[in-house]
Amino acid sequence: MAAVSQLSYVVGTSSDVPGWKKYATEVLGLEVSRDSEDNLLYVRADDRHHRIGVRAGHDDDVAYVGWDVPSKAALESAAAQLDAAGIAVTTGTPEEAADRRVMEFVHFVCPYSGVRMELVLGHEKVFLPKFRPARDLAGFNMGEAGMGHVVLYAEDILGAAEFYSRVLGFGVSDFAHIPKVGPFAVFLHCNARHHSLAFMHIPGAPRKIQHVMFETVTMDDVGHSYDLCLDRGITSTSTGRHHNDHVFSFYFQNPSGWHFEYGWGPRTVDPETWTAENYLLGPGFAWGHDGLMKMV
C-alpha cells in the first residue's frame, strides 16, 4: 500500500504571476482563490483550497509537489521510511503549513528529479463557496483519485521507479520504451488512478517538470479546451489517445513554458492486483498527440 493517498497540489514559481492569474481563469477555466496575493496565486479546481499554486520567482519551474497522507501515523511512518533509506526529511514550519493550507507536513528532495516533495496531512477543504469553473466546463474528476498526475524529468527512471515503490509504496503501472533506444518513461500509481506520478528521461530538459494532467468530466471539455488553445496558439500537441491509460487528451503550454494536459476517459487500476505493463512509443503505436515526442 502506498504511503500517500493522492496527489494534492503542484506549486511552481514564475516571473509572471499576473499572466498566470489571467491564464488560470481564461485558459484553464479554474478559479483564483480569494486569498491569493500578488506574489502567491492559489488556484482552485474542486473543493480543495487550491490544486495549483504559483509563487513569484525567476526560474519558471516547479517549486514543490504535495502528496496527501491519510493520518498522523502514516505521516510519521513515511518519514521514518525515508530516513531509513538515507533521505533527509525536514518538518515544515507552522508558517509553511499555513502557507500550504495544511495541518502539518514533512518534505524531502526527490533524489532522481531534484524536486521538493511534501507529504501533507489535512489539506484544507472549502465547502462554501463551491468551486465554479471560470468558463464553460463541466468540471474535473478528482476526489479520492487526487488532482490528476504530474510528470517530472529524471535521468534514471528505473532507479526512480524502484525508490518510490520500495520506500513509499507506489505501484508501477507501466514502462514506456522507445524502439531500439530503451526505457523512456515510468508511470506510478498510489490509488486507482492509472498514474499520479511519472518520470521521463529527456537529456537536456530545460526544467524539472514536464506537465500536469487534469481529468475532465466530459469529452466535450477536452474538445472545447483544444479549440480555445488552438485559437491562442498555445497547443503543444494535437488531440490523441494514449494506449497505456487510454485517456483522450491534448497538451498545451502555460506562461512558465511547461505544459498542462486535459484528458477524458482514462482506465483505472486495482493497486492490489495490478501487474506492471510495458509498451512501445513511436509512429504507428498510437493515434494522435502529434508533437508529443518533441515536447519539453
Summarised one tens digit per residue, pLDDT across range 222-232 is 999 999 999 99
145 exposure class (CB count in 10 Å sphere: 0-12, 13-18, 19+): buried
CATH superfamily entry for domain 143-294: 2,3-Dihydroxybiphenyl 1,2-Dioxygenase, domain 1 (3.10.180.10)
6-121 folds as 2,3-Dihydroxybiphenyl 1,2-Dioxygenase; domain 1 (3.10.180)
d(CA 184, CA 177): 5
Examine the pLDDT at 282 and tell me if it is beyond 80. Answer: no
Q: pLDDT-based confidence at 179, cuts 50/70/90?
A: confident
Q: For residues 51 and 147, is the Cβ–Cβ distance under 8 A?
A: yes
pLDDT of residue 243: 87
pLDDT of residue 180: 84
Cα dihedral across residues 122, 271, 161, 280: positive or negative: negative
**Residue 129 DSSP class:** S
Share of the chain above pLDDT 70, in %: 99
Lowest pLDDT segment from 58-67, 89-98, 193-202, 283-292: 283-292
Examine the pLDDT at 220 and tell me if it is beyond 90. Answer: yes
pLDDT of residue 1: 78
d(CA 255, CA 28): 12
d(CA 89, CA 109): 8
| pLDDT average, residue stretch 30-45 | 96
Summarised one tens digit per residue, pLDDT across range 247-263 is 999 999 999 999 999 99
Examine the pLDDT at 103 and tell me if it is beyond 80. Answer: yes
Q: pLDDT-based confidence at 108, cuts 50/70/90?
A: very high
Examine the pLDDT at 284 and tell me if it is beyond 90. Answer: no
Q: pLDDT-based confidence at 181, cuts 50/70/90?
A: confident
In the chain, which residues fall in CATH 3.10.180.10? 6-121, 143-294
Lowest pLDDT segment from 135-139, 215-219, 286-290: 286-290
Mean pLDDT of the chain: 96
Q: What DSSP string describes 57-72?
A: -SS-SEEEEEEE-SSH
Q: pLDDT-based confidence at 38, cuts 50/70/90?
A: very high
pLDDT of residue 130: 95
Examine the pLDDT at 100 and tell me if it is beyond 80. Answer: yes
Q: Is the peptide bond before 283 cis (omega within 30 degrees of 0)?
A: no
